[in-house]
A and B are shown apart, each in its own frame.
Chain A
Amino acid sequence: MSDRDVLIVGGGPAGLSAALSAAQGGLRVALVDEHTELGGQYFKRRHPAVVARHGDFRPAGTRLVTAVRQAGVDCLTGHLVWGVADDGATLLVAGPDGAPHALRARFTVLATGAHERVLPFPGWQLPGVVTAGLALHLATIDRVPVGRRVLLAGTGPFLLPVACALLEVGVRVVGVAEANHPYRLGRHAAASLRYPARLRELAGYLATLVRHRVPVWQDTYVLSASGPDRLRQVTLGGRHAGTVEADVLCVGHGFRPNVELARLLGCETRPDPVVGEPVPVADVVGRTSRPDVYVVGEAAGIAGVHAARARGQAAALDILARTGRAVPPARQRRVHARVRRLARFAALTEALFPPPLHLLDGIPDDTEVCRCEQVSAGEIRATAGLAHNGLNATKGFTRAGMGLCQGRECGTAVACLTRAANPHAPAEAFTARMPVRPVPVTALGVPPRHAAGADRGRPAGGGTPGGEVVR
């Protein structure tokens, strides 16, 4: 056991907030992130050259990162947490050079964020089809337009700020195809009036789009994308069916929490009610079924940046209280109330923008679903259609989800196609396996090439990060 109190995985808003509160409360904190800069997706840092020309992006993020560093948090950037050691608790880490590290603290806070979800459609593998997140990154962080005539499609409030960011860098946004119909006065809309700040934000985006005459087509979705060598045309279905010329299509169907580490640590999960994918069971402060493991931010369920910060803070305060630090109960109550309020708003958003899984029923058999291994919808349906196969058997037989992305990209689609083809198979998720991301074998203690061959006779298994804490 190391002398660290808290180990936080993920340097986005949730991890940063947890780190700041915990360190300010007097705990020894380490924060690990695979990227070279802290900030995560939301508080992504601009390159200094871009800052010099265009100024800082989301200065709140810069302030948070600075505060975290000033609070004495040990920031291990460029470090990928890829697994859990045989003791079931120590986290295994690949350093920037692929070197093995093992980290352990009294408490672990998982703030591993989420991954963009894209549901496949014919042509989604064409050059010119990108995720909404990538387009946003290019526009806001690099100040580069992703294309000239751009169409956004999918579902979720996220598409709106992306469209606005594209407009800002001079992109001609031809439209936003929203698969659901959230933007109207209905039961949910009325309920959302209870969250004026969030509502004002959305209204602001919508106003910008109106000003630029960008149509928002509700109940409209992509049927297919086509073009000889790269994207030229998108065929839309639903209320605003038709074809749209575009050189770039940005798609996003919400986000998928990154739960691999929580699963590898043995935290209890429950199936997400809409998609059926496992999400960690956690209470308001992020406590999981394991007393020493917390999960906060998008990894605990998609709820946005404000909720992520509040959850990170709530977890830190809880740890402070558990380690005997004085935490004013009123402060804790305030944070908990904020977490709960924002969670209710997230539930509302979820209800307004469910991932349109039914669209998968309609994709033709020749649609490529797993891009890493090039597996089509038809292959998945045929394999899963044999009554004796379930999700993992289908994965095994077809290789869908076995490639470089380890099922992160296609997982939702493979699970849905399997379920549709074989409703009788018991519900399953892809088995959680190490490494959570491909790592150089040196991260497991294999000597790097120049050293190999010279060490005949060292004990087998020696130098592996199996248990000992390296740093």
Chain B
Amino acid sequence: MSRHTADVVVIGAGILGAAAAHYLSRAGQRVVVFDRGAPNREGSGTTAGNLHIQAIHPSRPGQEVPADNGRFLPLQVAVSDMWESVELELEASVELRRHGGFMIAETPHEYAELRAKQAMEAAAGLPTELLDGDAARAALPLLSRTVVGATWCALDGYANPLKITPAYLASARRHGAQIHGYTPVTGIAATRSGWRVTAGGDTYDAPAVINVAGPWIAQVARLAGIRLRMTPVAIQMHVTPRMPETMRHLVQHIGEGMSVKQVTAGNVLIGGGWPALRLDLDGRSVASVRSAGGNLALAARVLPFLSGVRLLRVWAGPLAATPDELPVIGEVPGAPGFFVAGGTYAFTLAPLWGETLCRLVAGESPRVQVSDLGPDRLLIDTQSDELDLVANQERALEGAVRDSVQQGSTRRKEQA
């Protein structure tokens, strides 16, 4: 067992850990990154990779907590510009595509939702356009006749998830960061001047620790004696074999879980946050065939050419979600130097969150205001019986995921 020191220890080599390591090491910090497995194998490597710039739809039937569009929009506006310079900054291609996206409606009610959403976007300074069904089909003839309207946002896009996180890590490495795969963090203890992190049998003393362990955020926080309320889930993706270029845009649905786009290699990726069969935080989460059928049928209804394609692969990935469906980013109150970041849409928000973490560690103010997104709201009062409640919830989680699949009805309002 040997002892090391660092300026910042980053726990988790998903896109958030990688982006944070990039910004921090570039700013001259000595960074050490740990992952329990290989980097980019969890949420960030299994994600749909959409850059969601237009608002996600606020609420769907069955959704307990609606996503707060108003709170997300300034973050989306801020990160949109940052994505433009990512490839230059990382000196790597990440197959960035900003070909714009449609969010479609199939009912008058959904169309009204689009209208409200567009007004909100305009107020946030995000340029989007509301189209009726014919205008939408004129813009994208692949859309079916069931489409009654769409919003168009030229800034929606895609980055290859299998490229971006490795590119952030490569940049961090060039700036001196150390990256340790297959090295789970097994202990975190407060010291007089910061934290002592145990990983791979060695210890690392650092004034700052960043917990970006995705679906494992709560477990990692617990190593430091901090109890956080998180609600991880597993959702799934579907991909076709490579095809000639057919569709340049991202297509989403305002009322149901659906995202479709064709990626640079030619494969069409179909997602929409449909629940996987099983969240497995010890192994690989398992995809649900029922979800696959539902998601594909929906996509083929909106984009009829999809009823003639083949399915190449289905996979599931875990996702750190918060009970209020908002991102979490900030320092844990009462634990100076212990930062947490994660939650939904972390792929889209990664450049912003990487930079924000870097600034927070340095005591600077971030480019967007995030003080209301801190982990304080997720802290579990260890004195109350809320703890038992959480333990029960955690146990119920796996069953609930399975049940929701069996009912075949729920689609997470999650992105993808």
Q: Give A212 Cβ to nearest chain B Cβ, in Å.
A: 43
* B-chain residues with CB within 8 Å of residue A86 when the two chains form the complex: 277, 288-290, 405-406
Give the tally of cross-chain contacts (CB within 8 A). Answer: 167
Known pairs A397-B162, A464-B289; A453 contacts B301 (CB<8 A) = yes
Contact with B along A355-399 (1 / 0, CB 8 A): 000000000000000000100000000000011111011001101
Q: Give A402 Cβ to nearest chain B Cβ, in Å.
A: 8
Q: Give A412 Cβ to nearest chain B Cβ, in Å.
A: 20
* A448 close to B (CB within 8 Å): yes
Q: Give B305 Cβ to nearest chain A Cβ, in Å.
A: 8
Verify B290–A425 contact, CB threshold 8 A. no
* A452 close to B (CB within 8 Å): yes
Verify B313–A461 contact, CB threshold 8 A. no
Query: Once the chains are docked, how many angstroms separate the CA of A352 from the CA of B103?
Result: 61
* B-chain residues with CB within 8 Å of residue A435 when the two chains form the complex: 311-314
* A-chain residues with CB within 8 Å of residue B277 when the two chains form the complex: 86
* A184 close to B (CB within 8 Å): no
* B38 close to A (CB within 8 Å): yes
Q: Give B294 Cβ to nearest chain A Cβ, in Å.
A: 3
Verify B179–A388 contact, CB threshold 8 A. yes
Verify A442–B182 contact, CB threshold 8 A. no
Interface window among B39-47, B117-125, B186-194: B39-47
Query: Once the chains are docked, how many angstroms separate the CA of A86 from the CA of B256?
Result: 22
- The interface residues of chain A, by DSSP majority, are classed as loop
* A463 close to B (CB within 8 Å): yes
Verify A455–B301 contact, CB threshold 8 A. yes
Verify A461–B145 contact, CB threshold 8 A. no
Verify A444–B38 contact, CB threshold 8 A. no
Verify B181–A387 contact, CB threshold 8 A. yes
Contact with B along A432-465 (1 / 0, CB 8 A): 0111001111111111110011011001111111
Verify B301–A456 contact, CB threshold 8 A. yes
For B180, the closest partner residue in chain A by CB is: A388
Known pairs A86-B405, A426-B182, A456-B146; A441 contacts B300 (CB<8 A) = yes
Size bracket, chain B contacts: 35 or more
* A2 close to B (CB within 8 Å): no
Residue tally, chain A, CB below 8 Å to B: 52
Verify A446–B297 contact, CB threshold 8 A. yes
Q: Give A292 Cβ to nearest chain B Cβ, in Å.
A: 19
B35, B39, B40, B256: the one within 8 Å of A460 (CB): B256
Q: Give B276 Cβ to nearest chain A Cβ, in Å.
A: 10
Query: Once the chains are docked, how many angstroms separate the CA of A397 from the CA of B315?
Result: 16
Q: Give B407 Cβ to nearest chain A Cβ, in Å.
A: 9
What would be 29 A-B contacts, judged by CB atoms less than 8 Å apart? A373-B265, A388-B35, A388-B181, A390-B38, A392-B38, A393-B40, A393-B41, A404-B242, A406-B313, A424-B182, A425-B181, A434-B313, A439-B310, A440-B309, A441-B307, A441-B309, A444-B289, A446-B307, A449-B308, A453-B144, A453-B146, A460-B294, A460-B408, A461-B291, A461-B293, A461-B294, A461-B297, A461-B409, A464-B289
Beyond the given A443-B311, A446-B307, could you list 13 further A-B residue pairs with CB under 8 A, ordered by the A residue number? Answer: A86-B289, A393-B45, A434-B313, A435-B313, A440-B309, A444-B293, A445-B296, A456-B106, A460-B411, A461-B297, A464-B290, A464-B408, A467-B290
Closest 9 CB pairs of A and B: A464-B293, A388-B181, A466-B290, A461-B294, A393-B38, A461-B408, A444-B293, A445-B293, A438-B310
* Residues on B facing A (Cβ under 8 Å): 13, 35, 37-41, 45, 106, 144-146, 162-163, 166, 179-182, 241-242, 256, 265, 277, 284, 287-294, 296-298, 300-301, 304, 306-315, 405-406, 408-409, 411
